[in-house]
Structure 1
């Protein structure tokens, strides 16, 4: 076993190398524990069936928010675990030895280029589909460890790839949250915005589709695999991490804890969670797409919205909703003021009130909002969320990330007043996104005016001229964690205390008007020549 082989005199150069690679991921102690749980004490190897079971996907309830669920999709769960073992772990007659166990883990979970990790995910998906009898037009050519992908992706394939990626991400988070590995309802979100994004980017005629009226399940579009590969690396670069996280979690957590908590959510809790998700502008599918562009703590906070474990965990992130708190920058400010952390602002709009072609855009700032007469900020991103998803990161030519300006108090006249509202990108008077002070209208301009964020349309058929649309809903989500929310609570308490102190009136100063300084000053001003004698 690995622990017995860890003494210096017994470690071969080959084993030392793979142990070093595993140690670089920080998972070596957990892998040693997992190996001791899964391996046979006599053969000191993991039986192939035990390792396959470790990666097995089983669900009692699986619901889809999208307009259709492909009948053959559940067949993938039966073969998913065996595919991972076949691709990454080499077994002999006794099973998978310690060195091959480490080698298999590092093939999937060690630090590598994003393209290599994405190839791993695509290979697992393709082989799993093949075992389930589902035809996928992808081909892989391996030369000296380098994998080249070719062939075609159908719309059907892209949907199933995104579904399985979501499910294994949900499973990983469920295990880390001590939820039951199987038996809990898994709600797979609508991923149409991601599928349409791939079509628009990879197909020459893709931008001519009517994205509002296109049903993904009915589209019969073929996407060239290399283009689709490049789309994933550019638009959702962390998609491949879904597989890495799943393998890591199943080996380092699930295998080392044979008895998973049997506590599962009641049906009433599941309904309440789903109803909360549907009532918000930010859906689970949108949040997941955004999370695939993020890293670090902000990714973790966004994942809480993607995979909520309870209602409170969802609600503690939302700071403002125009339909609840009221429209306007003052209402917005009273809810987000003092929040010193990353913040995601979402805007739902349409050109006309009865226009069914509604779109949602978003802006992520890495700091709180401030009332200023100029642009500010250190970093950020813009998002086209629906009907087509795109992410536009900052590329450093300018620093006009955020503009947020309230009415200036104490000034009667300003010859050149600054616009009151919230904006992202562009310049003053030519903002890429500008929301007026009443949150009634939003103006979206072509990316040519913006040198802060990457170029691209924020909604289909945007055109070159500025677009003015009606604002339907505005939401603000805090992504700074509990520390940022705690800081905001303390800030609000201080402001309330100062307000109360200013409102208090000291009645003692009005107890004797004759002795008050105010009366003396008024008498002096009324008749300054009056001779006053000191009372003796």
Structure 2
């Protein structure tokens, strides 16, 4: 229908313009098939009811990992699809024609500035809140895409907005990886909520980020500050909306021979322990994915939306509780891996007893875009540091220095070194003044103030870090490979080669030592009896 409509009105400059805008997103073929599948053959237009059913979600009371979800959240999701259509797609009396269908798509999914895309996401949340009968706290001056946003959000609004984005991301992944079937709970994203609250308010000294959930506090976050926080901390949050819309339209085309709409039901949501034993839980993996693009994002989303536990764990290169602590154990598992690597370090500060209430546990991470190398100098081309828990922050490359990663084992072939280099793993800073340094036993990690580091952006690695170097006890270390199957296959080939060389070095050819004249014992005795004698090796 869309293709025939295009042929009939090919001379229309208006149609060529909107088709060019849609083609710039790469979705024009899908849009043509979707229009043909949804449109009424008689009117050659899409009834709004059919389009709303295409984006419809049904969600009963969700089960969450550890976070307290507002009771209004299921109602909010039930109105998401209808609000999306009413906000972006403007229909005439006979329905949505081909040109208006393309305009609606480019209005919400077109190539535009990040600030405009976030405005669209905020307007969708505000429209959904109003349709669900909840109090609206955001205000927009006009209906234009570049309108100014004002008002405020409370922490529970931030939680529902982020959870809404997670559901859209889950839905798009679920439609692509399975047939609309899945059994996942809402992840704990309290670290993202706390990051927004601390960045947008002046209450950081009064908030307990260690032992509580601050999503229920009565605090107002100015909309403009929240906007800036999102663009800086989770710049790819708006991709959740784009992926949701595109996946739903693509799935409708795949099921166009069925009478019912392809909307999936999220009713059967129960708690799962998949990946929750890892440092990289689904909620933390999703937060990291909002800062990444391309293949690295796709690989880390496998930990966020695991369809199979064994397949998910294939990306884990090293875990200290499984493979053993120490640099040597670590190196035997990551050696030969040349793809991007994510290292997470779980540590504790306070008393040595982990069960003590004063003990504070935190998680930090480092992303390198290349494998680890045994060097006594810093190396790397790019990377990022992350504060993961209890508060999420991103410290991208600053562009002044390139001291991204340092990984040095015990030197070989040297008996004495007057100026030995540190043995361990470090990120940022300089040798002796590393931003993050973990010793060779993986027992202690030292974190220094950002003033010593010109590689990564400034900021506290964990709450209340202070200016002095801080040493903490390491609880767990995880390393995830984000290079996909290619990097894993290269590492497997490398390990097989190393095993072959090692086996060859162990073998001794006994035929060489078959006679006394050629034996090493006779050679040693001859050297002792006459050390100045000329031998064949010296000629």
Indicate the TM-score class for this superposition, using the shorter chain for normalisation.
Answer: over 0.9
Q: 1:89 to 1:261 in 2, by over 3 A?
A: closer
User: Which whole-Å CA distance do the structure 2 matches of 1:449 and 1:303 have between them?
Assistant: 33
Mapped partners of 2:531, 2:339: distance in 1 = 59
Q: What does residue range 317-396 of structure 1 map to in structure 2 within 5 Å?
A: 317-351=315-349, 352-354=351-353, 355-396=358-399
SS in 1 for 2:141: strand
Change (3 A) 1:419 1:91: same
Who is 1:111 aligned against?
111
Once residues 523 and 391 of structure 2 are traced to their aligned partners in structure 1, the CA distance between those partners, rounded to angstroms, is: 73
Deviation at 1:510? 2.6
**Cα distance change, pair 432–25 in 1 and its aligned pair in 2 (3 A):** same
Query: Which residue of the partner structure matches residue 533 of structure 1?
Result: none
Tell me the CA shift for residue 79 of structure 1.
1.1
Alignment of 1:176-191 (within 5 A): 176-180=176-180, 184-191=182-189
Match of 2:229 in 1: 231
Match of 1:279 in 2: 277
Measure, in 1, the Cα distance between the counterparts of 2:462 and 2:174. 34
Task: Compute the TM-score of the two structures, normalised by the length of structure 1.
Answer: 0.93
- The Cα of 1:72 is off from its aligned counterpart by 1.4
User: Which residue of structure 1 lines up, in the alignment, with residue 490 of structure 2?
Assistant: 487
Q: Deviations over 1:287-337 (max 9, x none)?
A: 111110111111111111111111122111111100111111111111001
* Worse-superposed segment, 249-258 or 478-487: 249-258
* Structure-1 separation of matches of 2:264 and 2:526: 80
Q: In the aligned structure 2, how far is the partner of 1:6 from the partner of 1:45? A: 13
2-structure distance, mates of 1:465, 1:383: 20
CA distance in 1, matches of 2:525, 2:263: 80
The answer as to 2:481 corresponding to 1:473 is: no
Q: Give the distance between the partners of 1:465 and 1:229, measured in 2 at CA.
A: 33
The alpha carbon displacement at 1:381 in A equals 0.3
Q: Is the 8 A contact 1:34 1:252 kept in 2?
A: yes
Partner of 2:204: 206
Q: 2 CA distance for matches of 1:528 and 1:128?
A: 93
Partner of 1:437 in structure 2?
440
Structure 2 residue aligned with 1:31: 31
**Which of the numbers 180, 193, 196 marks the counterpart of 2:194?**
196
Aligned mate of 1:426, from 421, 429, 445: 429
- The answer as to whether partners of 1:179 and 1:264 remain within 8 angstroms in 2 is no
Per mean C-alpha deviation after superposition, the further-off stretch among 412-421 and 506-515 is 506-515
Please report the RMSD computed on the Cα atoms of aligned residues, expressed in angstroms. Answer: 2.3
Q: Could you list the runs of 5+ residues in structure 1 that have no partner in the other structure?
A: 531-536
Deviations 1:341-365 (A, max 9, x none): 1000001111232243111000000
The residue correspondences of 1:67-466 to structure 2 (distance < 5 A) are 67-142=67-142, 145-180=145-180, 184-258=182-256, 274-351=272-349, 352-354=351-353, 355-466=358-469
Q: Give me the whole-angstrom Cα distance separating, in 1, the residues matched to 2:514 and 2:262.
A: 69
Deviates further, 322-331 or 202-211: 202-211
**Contact 2:436/2:445 (8 A) holds in 1:** yes
Looking at structure 1, the residues matched to 315 and 522 of structure 2 have their Cα atoms a distance apart, in angstroms, of: 55
CA distance in 1, matches of 2:309, 2:391: 28
Q: Is the 8 A contact 2:54 2:263 kept in 1?
A: no
Q: 2:199 and 2:394 mapped to 1: Cα distance?
A: 12
Residues 384 and 459 in structure 1, CA contact (< 8 A), matched pair in contact too: yes
Report the Cα distance in structure 1 between the residues aligned to 2:144 and 2:318, rounded to whole angstroms: 53
Cα distance, 1:511 vs structure 2? 2.2
Please state whether the residue corresponding to 1:470 is helix, strand or coil. strand
Q: Secondary structure at the match of 2:173?
A: helix
Q: CA–CA distance in 2 between the matches of 1:63 and 1:69?
A: 9
Q: Could you give the per-residue CA deviations for residues 177-213 of structure 1, whole angstroms, max 9, x where no partner exists?
A: 1331xx6323111111011101111101234312102
Distance 1:371 1:60 in 2: 52
96 and 496 in structure 1: CA distance in 2 versus 1, 3 angstrom threshold? same
Closer, same or farther in 2 for the Cα pair 1:76/1:391, shift >3 Å? Answer: same
Gaps of 5+ in 2: 534-539
| Structure 1 residue 506: Cα displacement | 1.2
Distance 1:501 1:208 in 2: 64
**Alpha-carbon contact 1:61-1:186 (below 8 Å) kept:** no
**2:106 aligns to what SS in structure 1?**
helix
Aligned residue for 2:73, secondary structure, equals coil
**Inter-partner Cα distance in structure 1 for 2:511 and 2:192:** 68
CA distance in 1, matches of 2:213, 2:262: 40
Q: Aligned pair in 2 of structure 1 residues 145, 344: CA closer, same or farther (>3 Å)?
A: closer
Tell me by how many angstroms 1:215 deviates.
1.6
